Structure 1
Amino acid sequence: MSKVSNSSIAKLSVISNFKEITKMRLSLSVVFSSIAGYLLGADEVNFYTLLLLAFGGYFMVGASNAYNQIIERDLDALMERTKNRPIPSGSMSVQSAFILATVFTVLGITVLYIINPQTAMFGAISIFLYTSAYTPLKTKTPLSVFVGAIPGAIPFMLGWVAATDDFGIEPGTLFMLQFFWQFPHFWAIGWFLHDDYQKAGFNMLPTGKRDKGTAVQTILYTVWTILVSIIPVFGFTGELKLTIVGAVVVFAIGLVMLYYAIQLFKKKTTIAARQLMLASVLYITLVQIIYVLDKFIR
């Protein structure tokens, strides 16, 4: 009985470590964005390509997250939120994490290259920027959020490139939408986790403080996100189109996120920041779904 029990515990530990080191929930949300971008760009849906994109996307994001946790292992040990991650907790060695990250990198680039070389190139760029620029800058400057927003905005446009093997105004617009969205999203997280981040020396808020300046910038970037989200309705974005009904719905959802950004400005509390973070997650998910539905039902 003890052998069976120990074996089950070991398997659960491996699964748990895998989920944590690759940040499974985050990785799956990135895969969701990529699939949405693919459906927007594809004239005909190729399920083989869709499968490759899903696996390739997960490999790339999982690799980025693993590299990030290797680099930040000593800092992760200082924060309540991250001290129980596999490496700082001792449940996974740095060597094992590095092997997994390397294998995922090779698999990710290979799988995305099978789709087309441009998709693989953008996937490789996202890993490089996340690990070599965003991660080391987090302890140096609040501009790290700007740098991190670049690889964070790639997945939505990556799907379009996977479908069309072309980079133009359409994937560029998808990129800008997710790029601007990340500022209110990550500043909200940076706000309610500010004290924990300070333990590791992370500078995530634009002013370095939970103050009026940070709240105002959060509102501004929320407004820019909303404006970018409705640009396709005006016919300036090539094959990326949005009906008037779709634009109205997208705009209305944006106003909900803006409401919570304004509430953060008024209240300046961790609760308001957490509410904005949740609203931002709901916003980007619904906008991507509406974009796709708008294409297929118009």
Structure 2
Amino acid sequence: MTVSGIDVASYQSDTYSTTGLGFVLVKATEGTGYANPRHAAQIATGRRHSLVVGHYHFVRPGSMTAQATYFLQHAAARAGDVLALDWEDTGVTGAQKDAWIEHVQAAAPRNRVLLYCNRDFWLHRDPTSFAGDGLWIADPGAPAGRPRVDFHWTIHQYSETGGLDRDVANFANTAALRAWAAKGTPAPAHEPFPGVAWFTLGRRSPVVAAMHARLVAVGCNHYASSANKDVIGSGDVASYEAWQRKYNTEHHKGWTGAALKWPPGKETWDALKVPNV
């Protein structure tokens, strides 16, 4: 099940319809020189109708610290509000978007911080797969709640209808979304299985470094060194295949052939217990 929502900016009404909605995400700022003049009124409409509200920043090239500070000053978020980075400018690197998210997470510990981007940015421009507390993915070519990414998503922007961007949040109901936004639901202890397609050579991510550490810890160390341990390489392939052979033997699975080869499968990934990063 999912929760319906919308996202709005200055060109939408302050008094948008909230019928059937559980949340609204409102543009607050862009760069360090633009603040949405309707932001406060659009947020007030959401609060008045008991929606979970969020604020987002359209990032531009420049200082990420300055933009994060500008955003937080103008958003004036309350505890339990969602914060998000809108990453659409090709002049902003993956490392810079990571820096913005990390700065806001540190400065606003009572709020969830999301990354918004489209599939092209996520699949072809993002070298780290870092999305803060959750991925808000734009994929209007996919049915609602079925974005075409092999990664745990939090919000899917799936269409524009009636002049509004339409979204669904990956929660059973609005109460569950509100509890998560308020940090009433702890982060999972272990990284969820990111999908087979995620395990591509050359991918850089803190999850890869965490996997590296776990493979060493369970006695499947086939790494030549610990350099670039956050990048998937031949050492990860050899070490993970050793883990699959070990798991197969210890749990009497009877796997052979391709079942023991790279890439990882969900069962052995869950059993490896890669810590949440």
- The alignment's TM-score, normalised by the length of structure 1, stands at 0.26
- The alignment's TM-score, normalised by the length of structure 2, stands at 0.28
The structure where strand makes up a greater share of residues is: 2
Question: Greater relative contact order: 1 or 2 (C-alpha under 8 angstroms, separation 6 or more)?
Answer: 1
